[in-house]
Each structure stands twice: as structure tokens, then as C-alpha cells.
Structure 1
Amino acid sequence: MASKILLIARVSDAEQRQALPAQKLRLQSYMQRLGVNDASYFEFDESAYKGARQKFAELIEQVKAEPTEQIVVFDKIDRFTRDASQREVGVMSSLVQKGRIELHFPSDNLIITRDSPATDLFRLGIGMLLAKYYSDASRDNVKRRFEQMWREGLYTHKAPIGYRHTRKYASSAVKPLKGIAVNPKAAAFVLQTFELRSQGSSHQAIANQLGLQGFISPKTGRPYKHSIISKILANKFYIGIMKVGGQEYPHKYPKIVPKELFYRCQAVRQGRQPVRVAYNSKQYTLKGIVNCGLCERTVSTYTTKNNNYLKCANSVCKNPSTAERLALTKIEKALSSLAIPTKVVESLQATLKRKLAERSVVAARDRNLLANIDDRANILYSDRLVGRITAEQHDKHAAKLENERQKLKTRTSFLTSAPSGLEKAVAQMVHVCQNAQNLFQNAAIATKNLMLEILLSNLKLKDKNLTFDLNFPCWGAG
């Protein structure tokens, strides 16, 4: 008999700890059958799928370092390992082959030594394969259960900022059921985060502003970092969609952010430059829309002594710098002369009048069809009252008539409301052209650049002279 005996009890996770006393009892009973009273007992509740199982690995190193022969006892083969490729299995198999240790599995009635026959080694190998199969099957069952929960709209991860975890007890004898509910205070900050972003605020600006109002991390007691704000703004959970396992599922929890607001924020993100560096972070009028008349490179803007200047981005280009004010003066003069020719206005008005007439004809026809549907519905109801048709036949045809009615009502509503929209569009077009200079002068820099991209094209700067073309549908008055 070896001079040292190690009894090892193991479970796959902490929730199975109640199985450890039973394993210990069986191991001690085995010692009694062998007539041994001196044995070291170890127990582990580490999962075979969680990390390197550090404590168990440390014990194996102790076994390896022991110079005397040892007996290592596990209750069953599946308590020894669930994966034959693990390092600990290789180490202990090597020690068995060297005659340093024996492996005992009393519940499987199996002892493995250096001289074990092939049948016992085969039983050990099959036992390890079966243990791995059961472990993998258990993992698959858990995975399938999670997938089913996701399809049912249940979220199995940490609740996002703005929500909190809840526990509901079905009875005092069972584990609480975990749920997710809105955290009113945090949810208000989340909604405000989206509102500020939709107005163009940066992630850092949002973090600073809301931090002063109390939107802070419960862990650090400090305002959230801009990276957290970025994650909040990209999280579809707030509009009812959760992403788990690489897939998106609709969830069952209350929504915090309207979809329209969420996607408006995504548009803000997409409209921003992905990289903002020091030299490219300041907004300038004409930025990125003017090219050099000599080398065709983009013209950039720089500031010196509180004045802005336009200069070719090509450092070796000979095109001289030009005061931004000179270029803007020429643009404003051109905008002041914008007008829509009389013939164009008359053509638009004629087109609008024709469209109004066409829509009136269609709307009148649809109103007649609606009246006809009402008559058919009354006849159908009368047929049901006198018994000429069954209730099932009545409901079937009534549903069909109602569907036709809703389609016609929707189209009629559009036909009667659309003309005012057309009139408005024509009026706005005339207004923009007549007031282009004033609108440009009073607009923000981003709006100015947008107006220039719409109204002008082929902007080129050469020898302090800016040239450009006016776009359709606006023409110079001259």
C-alpha cells in the first residue's frame, strides 16, 4: 500500500456543492474497506469550463513533486476529468505510467496502475469520453435554454444603464426569479443623453453636462466617461431590441428611447468624421468644398491674428493665401442676385394646377367608391338579419369591405393634403432664392457650407480669385 492517500471530491459548479458531502462519505467508506485511517481530503467546486481551475492544478503539482508513491482517489471517472486533453490528465497519466501514483475510482470499481490491463485502460478512456459527452450535452442544453429565453424576449446579461435587476419570489422555498425594470432616475438621464446627442453635442460634452446633474457611475462616483456615453447611444436595448449571441431579438421590457430619436442620433454619428484631430477639429466656412485652381488639391483654412485665410493644402503649391472675407464677399454678392426666372415660376404654377386637378378627380372617384362600400355594407347587414347569409359569411365579406374602406380613406387623405405641401414647396423655393444672401449671412457655419454645396459647384481658388457655378434651379438675375 502506498504511503500517502489523497481523497478528492469535485463538483462542476458552486450550485452542486450539496453533492460534496455524499462524495466525501463514499470516499471515506472506501478507505474503511481498505482498512486505512490516514488520508488527506480535498474538495473543489470549480467548473470544468471556467479558466485553468487553478486550485486543482496546484494540487496536481504537489502530487507531481511528492517523491513517495501515492494513491489518488476520485469517486467516479467523471470527477477526475471531463476532457482527456487537459493538462492535469496528461500529468497524472504520466505519473501512473512511471509507477508514481495509482488512480482509484471506487464507484466505478476501477483501479488504474502502471500494470493495469488493456481492458481497464479502455474502461478509463470510455469513462472520460462519456464524461465529456455528458458535459457537452449539458452545456448544449443550457445554450438551447438561453436561446429560448432570448426568443421569448428575456435578457440574460447585466441590465444596461437606465434599467435595474429585480427579484421576484414565487414562494419562500424557491430561488427568486430575476427580472429587469426601468430605473426611473437613470432612465431620465439616458433619454436626455439621446436628446443632447440629437442636437449635435459630443460624447464628452454630454458626459460633462449630465455629470454635473448627477449622472454618475455607482462604482466610481464620477461622471461616466465618453466611451460609456458612446455605448449608450449605440445600444438598441433602449428601443426594444437586445443583442445576444451575435443575434438581435425583441425584448419584453419597457423602452426608454423613441425609435425616431435613436436613429436620429445614429445619423449624427454617421455624419461626424470618424477621426477628429487637433488641426481638423475647428469649423470654417468653405472648409472642404473649395479646390485649388492650380493643383486641384483641397483648399484649407487657417487663422492668424483673428483673421481666417484660405490656402492650398499642397505645401509646394505656388497659389497664394487669400483672405476668407474676400471669397465670402463674392459669394454673398452672387447670392444676392439669385432669382427664379418668371417662366420657371409660371411653369411650376402650371404644373401645380394640373396636379391639383388630377388629384381632385381621383379624390372625387374615391369618395364615390367609399359611398358605394357603405351601401354594400348596409345590404350585407340586411342579408344577415333576414338569414340569407350565415354569420361566418357576413363577417368574411364585412372584413373585406372594411379593408377596402381603409385603403380608400388613406389615399383620399393623402390626395386632399398633398396639394398644400406642393404649394408650400414652391413658396419656400421662391423665398430661399429671394433671401439667399440674408439667410447665408445669419446661418451657422455648418448650415452655410450646406447651402453652398446645394447652391454652388466647381468652387476654385486661383490667384486670390474665387470662381464657381450656380446650380439649378437657381439662376443669377442677370
Structure 2
Amino acid sequence: MKAIVLARVSTEEQKDAGNSLPAQVARMETYCRQRNFQIAKTLSFDESAYKTKRDDFDKIIDYIKQSKEKIIVCFDKVDRFSRNVFDKRVAYLYEMAMSDKIELHFASDNLIINSQISAVEKFHFGINLGLAKYYSDAISDNVKRANEAKIKRGEWLGWAPIGYLNVENENGVKSIIVDPVRSPYITKMFEMYSTGNYSMRKIKDFLDKAGFTSKSDKSAPMTISMINHTLKNPFYYGMMRIKNDLYPHKYPALITKYIFDKAQSVSAGWHKKPFKYASKPFSLRGMVKCAECGCTITPETSKGHIYYSCTNFHKFHAKRTYIPEKDLLKPLYDALESIQLTDDRVKELTEDLRQSTKNQNAFFMNTVKTLRAEYDKLENRINKLADDKYDQSITNDFYNKKFKEYTEKQGKVMEELAKHDKADKEYHITANTVLNLAQRALEIFESSEPQEKRQLLNFVFQNLELRQKNLEYKLKTPYDTVLLANNCSDLLPGSDSNRRPIGYTYPLIS
């Protein structure tokens, strides 16, 4: 009689326990020779017997269906056949055996299922299936408990995201470390995207030029979807997402939560961002509103000259008034000239800045010291909490509740530290930028291209409005203060209680 030999494993542990595919095949070949069965086919595969989708096993059933003679289907044990009593394949092959179309042989269990099976053998078969399912369920419970314990210890359960590496030490203990080659690019990705000045397409171009590839395929570049997935992964600031919940992990963070939140904010509002015009660039395009009807002041070219006018979308004006760009820019030129600082004034302000920096540094250091002390206090509480749990002096529910409370507080402290660190850096960067720009604002503006002029105007001015032929504007802080420092009272009709200019209206040439 012809026989099919089927060997299956689903875990590495089964291979190590003597249940490897070759070992199963050898035992069943011996079994078939002792009974003079002719082995027509030998099949072996790695596949879980507990899952409903078993493609390899379905191919075997198709082969049995096509056979015109009775076949012996030989397994090593019942649990190699199935661990799920509700598997439709179990019922199908069992019915075929009861119809005397096949026989199921389980070599190591010394069990044969055919049409002459006794009640005791049926009971034996059912018990073996039940024990196989219980064993699988018990493993599942143990895995769940082990995973829950790992999550509480801040351990990631799967493959590390790009920017990190899975490692294993000499004792077989697995962990995750920062990838020294890829991690700087991940940090740069978040920093670029959080500014709002780079789309994912631009970030992809940057990564492609740097030769940055995906983690799964070293020859393939990162795709837009991979970049999007990476930018939304909280793992990089210290939290791991498991299903729909976030848990703190123990591995080094590549970014701060502040940067991550900024990136999410940019992503959420990206569809609202204005995009560059494809047509000829203009210095004030899209920057000026009509003070009377709220419509945009748009540019157009006529006989080689640029003119601006209200779109008059709401039909507020009786007719459109056209103003040359050079006339519209004149008050802005004067304002840029008025905020220029002399070398002596820059030297004086630099000295003031140096003194202010000392006071600012003292405040920064005291604040950071307080926050770090708070973080260490929470860390000590977490350690004590773990000791109490191991001593069984507190319940698991109490441990979980307090652990979550302390780690959330630590996350908030780290967020505050990141904000103070960023503010400290930006304090120096912004102060130097203000002084340098104030010293050369007009020179930079005159030598720039239209697109660069737009960027500079956006940096210095706000609320540009055209009222009839008069341009109204406000200087952004701190350039309003620079204007005050230059004692340009002739340009300031008044100021508010914070000593900031409330605006200036410059009459245009008719």
C-alpha cells in the first residue's frame, strides 16, 4: 500500500528537542519499512498546526483528493497533525478515514485511524488532540505572560526599527542598541521634517543622495511610505506602541518628544501649507492683503514692470488700482534701513547680551538641576516599587498602576528638559541671528533673489496690508525692539504697553 510521509515543525525549540524534520522522517520511514508500505511521497515543512491558514498542508489534501487508490497518511505524532480540534482539515481527513478512503497512522503514538477503529482508539485520538491543543494554549499563555513582563521592563518584543540594531551577547541575552551608522540619519529626518520646510519627498531625496537604504533590503532606497511610518513611530523618543497603547522602553532615544510632537503637528497640517507658485517669482506675492476687503494683493507684469493690485474678489472696489512694485517695496526698504545697527551699537548690544547670558545660564542651570532631581526621585521610586513587587509586599495591579504613573511623570520631566535645552540653544542662535541681520538687513535684501527676499520679509515683517495706496506693516519681535533701540521715533506713531510698535503707514507715491 502506498504511503505519504508528513513531517512538520513550527518552532526552533521543537527542532532542538529531537523533533527536527529529518528525525521525524527517519522514524516514519522505519515505521513504513516494518509494515511494507511503499513511500510514494515524503513532505516536510515548517508550519504552525494551530493557525487556520496552512497552505502547505492544503496542498497535501489536494494531492490525496486526486489519488484513485487508498493511501496511508503517516505522521510522527498526533500533535504533528494538528493542535486545533476545530481545524476543518482534522474533520475532513477523519471522515475520509472513516469512509475507508485513507488511513491515518501516528507512528510514535502507535495509533491508527481507519474505518475499523474502536471506541477506545477514538477516545485515545480525541484525548491526544485535546492534549495537543492544551499544550499549544499553555504555550500561548506563557508567551503572553512573558511578553507582559518584558513590556513592563521596557523591552521591545520584535525587530528593532530602523536606526537600532538587534544584538545578542555571549550568554544568549537579546537586546537592542543604537545603530551608529543609521541613527544620525533618523535624527536628521525628524529635525528636517519638524521645521515644516521639507516634504517627505525632499527628505527621500536627501536620504537617496546619502546612500541611505531600507533595513530589510540594503539595495533598495527608503520609500515615501517607509519615511512616513518612521516619522510616526514613537519608539524614537522613548515610547513603544503595542497595539493601540504606548509603553516606555529602556533603550536610548534618538529624538526628544518635543521634536516628535512638532513632526506630528507638521504632518497633521501639511495639507494646509501654502505651496510655491510654479510661475515667475515675485518678492511680495501672497504676502499682502487688502486692508479694506481682505482679498489678496496680486502681482502681474506689464511692459517689463511689476504691478500689484487687489483681486477685488468681493467686488468691494469700484475699480482696480495698480501700484508699481518699487513703490510698494519703498517703505520696507526704509524700515530695513532703520533697523540697521552700527558697529558700535552691535558691540554695545553684544556686551549686554553677554551679561544677560550669564543671568540666563544661571536660571537655566538651576531649572535643569531641579528637573533632573525630580527625574532621579521618580527613578528611585520605580526601583523601590520593583523591589516591593519581587518581595510580594504589593500586588501586581498596584505595581502596574504606580509604574505607569511614575513613568508618565518621568516622560513629562524629560519633555520639560528637552524644551529648556532647546530654548537655551535657540536663545544664543536667535540673539546672534538678530544682531547679524540687523547689521546687514538692507544689504542682504538688495542683493537677494525674489524668493530669498520673501523669506527675509517673512522673517522681519508681519501683517502686511494695503489701504488704498498706503502700505501698513508691523515689525516682528525682536526687530521692533531694535527699532526702538535705534531711537527711530519719527517712524513710530505710537507704541503699546509692551513698548512694541503698533504699526506704520507709509504713503506711496501717486
Q: Write out per-residue CA displacement over residues 234-276 of structure 1, whole angstroms, 9 at most, x where no aligned residue.
A: 3332322222333322222223334444444444444533577
Residue 196 (structure 1) shift: 3.1
The answer to whether the aligner puts 1:204 opposite 2:204 as a matched pair is no
Between the aligned partners of 1:60 and 1:247, the Cα distance in structure 2 is 41
Question: Aligned partners of 1:275 and 1:87: how far apart in 2?
Answer: 54
Instruction: Decide whether aligned partners of structure 1 residues 31 and 216 sit closer, same or farther in structure 2, where only a CA change above 3 A counts.
Output: closer
What CA distance in whole angstroms lies between the structure 1 residues aligned with 2:307 and 2:147?
Answer: 60
Residue 327 of structure 1 contacts residue 466 of structure 1 at CA under 8 Å; is this kept in 2?
no
Do the aligned partners of residues 233 and 93 (structure 1) sit closer, same or farther apart at CA in structure 2, a change above 3 Å counting? same
Partner of 2:68: 67
Provide the residue aligned with 2:231 in structure 1: 233
Q: CA deviation at 1:444?
A: 6.4
> What secondary structure sits across from 1:39 in the alignment?
strand
Q: What amino acid is aligned across from residue 136 of structure 2 in structure 1?
A: S
Equivalent residue number for residue 2 of structure 2: 4
CA distance in structure 1 between the partners assigned to 2:43 and 2:156 by the alignment: 37
Instruction: Please state how far the C-alpha of 1:27 moved relative to its aligned partner.
Output: 3.7
Larger radius of gyration: 1
- Structure 2: segments with no counterpart, 5+ residues: 337-430, 432-437, 446-451, 475-494, 506-510
Q: Give the unaligned 5+ runs of structure 1.
A: 171-175, 337-427, 429-434
Q: Is the 8 A contact 2:163 2:178 kept in 1?
A: yes
Output the CA distance in 2 between the equivalents of 1:283 and 1:86.
Answer: 70
Counterpart AA for 1:168: N
Alpha-carbon spacing, 1:236–1:98, altered in 2? closer, same or farther (3 Å): same
Q: Distance in 2 between matches of 1:275 and 1:160?
A: 30
SS in 2 for 1:72: strand
**1:183 counterpart residue number:** 179
Q: 2:187 and 2:265 mapped to 1: Cα distance?
A: 17
Instruction: Give, in whole Å, the separation in 1 of the partners of 2:291 and 2:94.
Output: 76
Give 1:178 shift: 2.9
1:39 maps onto 2:35 in alignment: no
Equivalences for 1:3-402 in 2 at 5 Å?
A: 3-17=1-15, 18-20=18-20, 23-24=24-25, 27=28, 30-31=31-32, 35-40=35-40, 41-48=42-49, 52-114=53-115, 116=117, 120-121=121-122, 123-170=124-171, 176-202=172-198, 203-217=200-214, 219-221=217-219, 224-273=222-271, 287=286, 290=289, 299=296, 307=306, 325=325
Percent of matched pairs sharing the same residue: 31
Q: Aligned pair in 2 of structure 1 residues 269, 5: CA closer, same or farther (>3 Å)?
A: closer
- Which deviations, in whole Å up to 9, do the C-alpha atoms of 1:422-452 show, x marking residues without a partner? xxxxxx9xxxxxx9xx99x969647867988
Deviation, structure 1 residue 94: 4.1
Task: Compute the displacement of 1:158 (Å).
Answer: 2.5
1:273-331: per-residue Cα shift (whole Å, max 9, x none)?
A: 3577787999985749958978x8x6585766885766759799998696695996799
Answer whether contact 2:473 2:504 (CA < 8 A) is retained.
no
Please list the CA deviations of residues 125-145 of structure 1 after superposition, one character each: whole Å capped at 9, or x if unmatched.
454344233223312322332
Q: CA deviation at 1:67?
A: 0.7
Paired with 1:43 and 1:104, the residues of 2 have a C-alpha distance of: 16
8 A Cα contact 1:291 1:460, kept in partner: yes
Aligned to 1:374: none
Q: Aligned with 1:273: secondary structure?
A: helix
CA contact (8 A) 1:74 1:105 kept: yes
Contact preservation (8 Å) 2:323, 2:469: no
User: Following TM superposition, by how much is the alpha carbon of 1:65 offset from its aligned partner in structure 2, in angstroms?
Assistant: 1.0
CA distance, structure 2, for counterparts of residue 109 and residue 231 of structure 1: 52
Task: Tell me, yes or no, if the aligned pair for 1:211 and 1:222 is still in contact at 8 Å.
Answer: no
CA contact (8 A) 2:461 2:473 kept: no
Shift of 1:100: 0.9
Size of the alignment, in residue pairs? 365
User: Which one-letter code corresponds to 2:204 in the other structure?
Assistant: A
The TM-score with structure 2 as length reference comes to 0.55
* 106 and 207 in structure 1: CA distance in 2 versus 1, 3 angstrom threshold: closer
RMSD (CA atoms):
5.0
Map Cα deviations across residues 347-380 of structure 1 (whole Å, 9 max, x no partner).
xxxxxxxxxxxxxxxxxxxxxxxxxxxxxxxxxx
Alpha-carbon distance in 2 for matches of 1:306, 1:51: 74
Q: Counterpart of 2:404?
A: none
Deviates more, 1:209-218 or 1:182-191: 209-218
SS of residue paired to 1:184: coil
Residue aligned with 1:254, SS: coil
**SS of 2:177's equivalent?**
strand
TM-score normalised by length of structure 1: 0.58
How much does 1:182 deviate?
2.1
* TM superposition shift of 1:19: 1.0
